Structure 1
Amino acid sequence: MAENPAYPVGLRLTGRKVVVLGGGQVAQRRLPALIAAGADILLVSPEATPSVEAMADAGEITWHRRPYAEGDLADAWYALIATGDTEANTRASAEAERHRVWCVRSDDADAATAWTPATGHSEGVTVAVLTTEARGRDPRHTAAIRDAVVEGLRDGTLVAPHHRTRTPGVALVGGGPGDPDLITVRGRRLLAEADVVIADRLGPRDLLAELPPHVEVIDAAKIPYGRFMAQEAINNALIEHAKQGKSVVRLKGGDPYVFGRGMEELNALAEAGIPCTVVPGISSSISVPGAAGIPVTHRGVAHEFTVVSGHVAPDDERSLVDWASLAKLTGTLVILMGVDKIGKIAETLVAHGKPADTPVALVQEGTTAAQRRVDATLATVGETVRTQEVKPPAVIVIGEVVGVGPRTSA
């Protein structure tokens, strides 16, 4: 066989006949991509794996339950030969050669006229990796290269600039609880593609250091707002930059819709006619307790958990929380933004019947290198916050789940 490298090409198989010989593990791996390509697939095999049989039962492929026979490749555009019968594979390969059908052989790459690349997909891009020669091929190495490229495209560590005009707009991205590794793959990719990033103080700050030099990073807390309220000023900044044709990311801590005022920003953008994408984030209400060894639910202990904003005290007329009802619940209570109000919150819960010895944990700077857990009870938490100098941001967990697991953080 000539030592020239394979010529890579993308086959458009929609409505075109593809023959697969053999219904084993190779067919099971390859058939989904052929189905997705819209091929008219004929499977020839006496037997098939349950997954392949399910594809036939669903009408995704046509299955002839018999061994290969001469003439099966007539009118085919592409063939995958993957039976356990070497002699049948050789005869089928010869037929493919006579009919000029591109043919992949799972048992003998040297005898094939086509090779299957290791493929992956990311946002409308297909990555296909081929080794340069049949002999000495290492499929694991090829797959590892594929995985590295696809992962880089997905998480934004491999940035491929768009040279065609992009549609300007805003993405409201939930950055997660603080650890930069806990942002979603989509969020990280959009961040890598942004022209402007307007970031909250509680967003994952380490991610900002990874941005290219041309990206304008704006601290939302430092946006001048003059006659506007701070939120209005942020809304205006989002609109202004998007109207300049820029791709804007509004990077928030946690999830945009969990006490993140994301809907206010979405509504302002909609009124201005600015397209907006919302990327959910991992909420600190669940992830931070988990990082500190506290499950918000646990069998036999808590069958529910309630997330509450503690940014206003229970006796504040602006409060929308029914603290009396919360005191009667037997599940877990998670309070966000409540460090400076926890003393009053605890007193209110106890006054409405919550046992004073109910366990409480405060997890400061959760999921970051500075994570710190401080335990107390409803009776002692107010004083504990003062003596232990617990500072925001901290997630407060109230309930028996505080004591069910091993301590994972000091």
Structure 2
Amino acid sequence: MPNPSLDISLDVTGRRVLVIGGSRPARRVIARYVAAGAVVYLAADTYEVPNPLVRPVTWPHSPSGWRDLVSAVDLVVAVDLPAEAQPLLVAACAERSVWLTREAAAPVSRPGHVTLVGGGPGDDELLTVAALRALAGADIVYYDRLGPHERLNEWAPGAEQVNVGKHPGHHAVPQAEIERMLVASALSGLTVVRLKGGDPFVFGRGGEEMAACRAAGVPVTVISGVTSAIAVPALAGIPVTHRDVSRLFTVLSGHVPLSEEELAHLVGLGGTIVVLMGVGTLPHLASGLARHGMRADMPVAIIERGFSAQQRTTVADIDTVVTVAGEVGARSPAVLVIGEVVRLAQCDDAAAVAVLANAATLSGQR
């Protein structure tokens, strides 16, 4: 029966770590130990990607050479070891009582690979297992403001981090340049992660980045993220659907004002309306929905800075929301929710049943 694997955390700060293997296959291991503060030595046949923080050593060719080499370090990490060297290394470490561990080699194929990762609405705990796995294997991470990035050193140890800095109305790096950078990094053989807020395919321009990679012949995959369109209202106590009250919800971007036809369709559909990035166009939206027949007392929630310590929910109705938003100084980033389900935002569990029953009656009267 095989022994269970062990996950042992070691403090390698200032420790001498010998990595054995080609510099490209070992690049992630090297980066991780450098980031952890170790003094890293590399024994390799070739040095394709020299790291200024790594000290190259001569590859030994005899049992005594292996013994001398491992005697000078505290830990040996075998990444890409030729079969003929395997018994020599194991014997040398055993004789000199030096710890030996093995780690998987990083891929070395060209081109590399791009993964578009949804980081969720901002809470670190809402990152998916797949997202963390992708980050752990990254050579370079391109991230922006809305993607969680405070713990990138932990999630992607040793990876290069590039802030492409998107802010409302201001893109420090234009979208076309981001796409060029992703492609160029992958074509150089790197494993690339593009970390985005929410879900890459929900107003995240992930489709454009995927198309750019495919056009350049770069393999690309997508890891979905928890979208703020659902998660932020949920945190404020607002379900986007509820039996007998709202059996559908519509998610739209508030970047650009809606046309009269779009406004009329929204009112006709009913259900819940969720607007991302819509504070700037709120006056146009509220007046347009009212103009096309939405009840003046339809509740509206403005949920600012979701999943942060400064999260704030403001509730008004279609008739008063613009005035109220001005009074409280509502600002982006914010999620707008329009619909009867908003009435739950200010209720405890005991009051929820009565509120929803009343909302169901109102919904049936429309």
Q: State whether TM-score is above 0.5.
A: yes
Query: What are structure 1's unaligned runs of at least 5 residues?
Result: 1-7, 10-116, 119-126, 130-158
Report the 3-state secondary structure (helix = DSSP H, G, I; strand = E; otherwise coil) of the residue aligned with 2:335.
Answer: strand
Deviation at 1:405, TM superposition (A): 5.0
Within 5 Å, which residues of 2 pair with 1:188-203?
A: 188-203=132-147
Contact 1:172/1:262, CA 8 A, preserved across alignment: yes
Contact 1:178/1:365, CA 8 A, preserved across alignment: no
Deviation at 1:201, TM superposition (A): 1.3
Name which of 342, 358, 364 aligns with 2:298: 358
Is 1:253 the counterpart of 2:197? The answer is: yes
What residue number does 1:207 align with? 151
Report the 3-state secondary structure (helix = DSSP H, G, I; strand = E; otherwise coil) of the residue aligned with 1:340.
Answer: coil
Contact 1:362/1:394, CA 8 A, preserved across alignment: yes
**What code does the residue aligned with 2:140 have?**
V
What residue number does 1:163 align with? 105
Deviation at 1:166, TM superposition (A): 4.5
Deviation at 1:385, TM superposition (A): 1.8
Name which of 282, 290, 315 aligns with 1:375: 315
Name which of 254, 266, 287 aligns with 1:326: 266
Within 5 Å, which residues of 2 pair with 1:154-303?
A: 162-167=104-109, 168-211=112-155, 214-221=158-165, 230-303=174-247
What residue number does 1:21 align with? none
Q: Which structure: larger Rg? A: 1
What residue number does 1:401 align with? 341
Report the 3-state secondary structure (helix = DSSP H, G, I; strand = E; otherwise coil) of the residue aligned with 1:202.
Answer: coil
**What code does the residue aligned with 2:179 have?**
N
Q: How many residues align?
A: 250
TM-score, L = length of structure 2: 0.63
Report the 3-state secondary structure (helix = DSSP H, G, I; strand = E; otherwise coil) of the residue aligned with 2:150.
Answer: helix
Distance 1:222 1:394 in 2: 16
Distance 2:199 2:210 in 1: 14
Within 5 Å, which residues of 2 pair with 1:36-55?
A: none
Distance 2:127 2:156 in 1: 18
Within 5 Å, which residues of 2 pair with 1:54-73?
A: none
CA gap of 1:200–1:222, structure 2 versus 1, over 3 A, is: closer
Contact 1:172/1:251, CA 8 A, preserved across alignment: yes
Which one is further off, 201-210 or 341-350?
201-210
What residue number does 1:390 align with? 330
CA deviations on 1:214-242 (whole Å, 9 max, x unpaired) are: 3211111279xxxx981110100101111
CA gap of 1:161–1:207, structure 2 versus 1, over 3 A, is: farther
Deviation at 1:173, TM superposition (A): 0.3
CA deviations on 1:64-92 (whole Å, 9 max, x unpaired) are: xxxxxxxxxxxxxxxxxxxxxxxxxxxxx
CA gap of 1:351–1:280, structure 2 versus 1, over 3 A, is: same
Within 5 Å, which residues of 2 pair with 1:143-158?
A: none
Within 5 Å, which residues of 2 pair with 1:66-105?
A: none
Report the 3-state secondary structure (helix = DSSP H, G, I; strand = E; otherwise coil) of the residue aligned with 2:281.
Answer: helix
Contact 2:249/2:271, CA 8 A, preserved across alignment: yes
Contact 1:172/1:279, CA 8 A, preserved across alignment: yes
**What code does the residue aligned with 2:105 have?**
H
C-alpha RMSD of matched pairs (Å): 2.7
Report the 3-state secondary structure (helix = DSSP H, G, I; strand = E; otherwise coil) of the residue aligned with 2:241.
Answer: coil
Report the 3-state secondary structure (helix = DSSP H, G, I; strand = E; otherwise coil) of the residue aligned with 2:117.
Answer: strand
CA gap of 1:389–1:181, structure 2 versus 1, over 3 A, is: same
Report the 3-state secondary structure (helix = DSSP H, G, I; strand = E; otherwise coil) of the residue aligned with 2:280.
Answer: helix
Deviation at 1:300, TM superposition (A): 1.6
What residue number does 2:33 align with? none
CA gap of 1:393–1:326, structure 2 versus 1, over 3 A, is: same
Distance 2:193 2:176 in 1: 17
Query: What are structure 2's unaligned runs of at least 5 residues?
Result: 8-35, 37-101, 349-366
Deviation at 1:164, TM superposition (A): 4.4
The runs of at least 4 consecutive aligned structure 1 residues that moved more than 4 Å come to 405-408
What residue number does 1:84 align with? none
**What code does the residue aligned with 2:266 have?**
L
CA deviations on 1:252-308 (whole Å, 9 max, x unpaired) are: 111111111111111100011111110011111111100110000111211111111
Distance 1:330 1:313 in 2: 19
Contact 2:137/2:156, CA 8 A, preserved across alignment: no
Report the 3-state secondary structure (helix = DSSP H, G, I; strand = E; otherwise coil) of the residue aligned with 1:383.
Answer: helix
Distance 1:182 1:302 in 2: 26
TM-score, L = length of structure 1: 0.57
**What code does the residue aligned with 1:165 have?**
P
Deviation at 1:393, TM superposition (A): 1.0
Percent identity over paired residues: 45
